Amino acid sequence: MYKNFLFGGLIKCEECGSNMTSCFTNKHTNGKLNRYYYYRCTSTMKQDWQACLVKQVSAERLENFCLENLERISVDKNYIENLVFRLNNDNQAGHRAGYELTDGCSKFSTETISDTLKFFFSGLKTIKGIERNLFAKRFLSNIFYSPESIKIRFISRSSVPPRRDKARPAPPMAGLGERTLSSSKSEFVSNCMALYF
């Protein structure tokens, strides 16, 4: 049995900074072969199993957890409004070196974030196979995993176009620059151009 890893190529280990790669393990139980899928810290492959405390995480559990929380946030208007307020009013957030923010990029809107998240989920529901991973990469730039927190860096665009084809939604239009969303213990942290949930 083959699995398409939804977040393949997107996960980084928060503990040691290494990428986490998709892998599987076969186990025989009562004469039956079972396959278990994981995202594994590459430092445990390149060095040894003790090189990182994180080691690996169940692919199914991580994917389900991230999607459930993102979907919950996508329909929670108050949550998004609070996030937008904090991001747009965070005076301590400076821009990253080498990036210049335009007026349009310096402000987030509730509608843009909500529409982008809803578009993301409508696409995931209609796309199958490896194309789901490629579609996810249009919206997610990184997922930072540790047993204590998961941070999702989400790319938000200035506008989300209407769907052209029910089977394959159009990608979001290139917009005002990359913005990111992530979450750590249900608290928001912002650092300009980045939304954390």
**Tell me: the pLDDT tens digits for 106-152?**
567 888 888 888 899 999 999 998 899 999 999 888 999 999 999 98
Between these two residues, 107 and 1, which has the higher pLDDT value? Answer: 107
Report CA-CA distances (Å) from 156 to 70, 72, 88, 105, 196.
13, 17, 14, 10, 12
Is the model's pTM score more than 0.85? Answer: no
Torsion, Cα 124 178 18 70, to 10 degrees, reads -40
- Helices of type H across 17-146: 43-46, 59-74, 77-88, 110-126, 130-139
